[in-house]
Amino acid sequence: MSSVISKRTFTVAGNWKLHKTPNEAVAFLREMVSTVGSSPDPQLVIFPQALAVDQACRAVHGTSLSIGVQNINEAVEGAFTGEISARVARVLGCRFALIGHSERRRLFHETDEDCGRKILTAQREGLVPVLCVGETADENRSGQTATVLDRQLAAAFAVGDVDPSLVIAYEPVWAIGTGQVAMPEQAQASHARIRQWLRVRIGDALAERVPVWYGGSVKADNALELAKQPDIDGFLIGGAALSSTSLAQIWRKAHDRGR
């Protein structure tokens, strides 16, 4: 598994939530394939809703784009009506699985421990888990950001022997879908905190290889400054990933970040 991510490739990821039919997904992905061309930098990942994953995987087959699922169950088969199997996601061609997005935590009552079990399932089935963490507005106001991040990471890693081949997505809950983006320095501080936690847990060398993505109101006009922060290795984008024009603009900003 550790070979899945060998270095921190910058990633632009779109989380489509409960939007886009399979046909809309395919048309969008075809446009993005021509925007990205053969450039692997940044890598582009799309998380369609589960019912569009099969066609999305077919649409990007043989390109540099990847597909992920927005959620998995910790079980891969069994009597779990309505759930999503990591094994089937992998068979269809997915590479990534979002784990513990704040909407899953808030609306579907997922706990840190659930996230830990799902990470293990994803890794066992050959998917790269993207563990979403982040503080609420109240926690941010009362200066608890670092404590919350440490707690979420510790609880998720406590469930079992987590392989360092994963992605952490820092998504401050107050920034998701609100238009209120974290200041680049503020986001960098949280990313550095996450990296520091990883260093203590898995050692310096492995911690350097874990990509930490930022999510929460990323748009074309704030992408460049965020992408230039040393510990921001990618974006998880909701609203602005629903338009191929704005996603392509963000992708280009991230592509130009080193210039």
Cβ atoms within 10 A of the Cβ of 8, count? 15
Q: Active-site residue among 103, 135, 171, 191?
A: 171
- Going residue by residue from 141 to 180, which x/- string records binding to ligand PGA, judged by CB under 6 A? ------------------------------x----xx---
**Is 171 an annotated catalytic residue?**
yes
Within 13 Å of residue 162, how many CA atoms lie on the same side as its CB? 28
CB nearer ligand PGA, residue 76 or residue 251 = 251
255's CB contacts (< 8 A; 6+ apart) are 39, 41, 42
| Nearest residue to ligand PGA on Cβ basis | 238
Closer to ligand PGA by Cβ: residue 40 or 177: 177
What x/- string results for residues 198 through 237 when contact with ligand PGA is judged by CB under 6 A? -----------------xxxx-----------------xx
Q: Output the smallest distance, CB 154 to ligand PGA, in A.
A: 22
Q: Which of 74, 101, 103, 135 is catalytic?
A: 101
Residue of 151, 148, 231 whose CA lies nearest to 189: 231
217: enclosing H helix or E strand = none
CA-based torsion, 14, 111, 168, 223: positive or negative: positive
Give the C-alpha separation, 110 to 49, whole Å: 18
Residue 61 · residue 55 · CB < 8 Å: no
Least distance in angstroms from the C-beta of 171 to ligand PGA? 6
Residue 255 among the catalytic residues: no
Catalytic positions are 101, 171
Which positions lie near ligand PGA, rule CB under 6 A?
A: 15, 171, 176-177, 215-218, 236-240
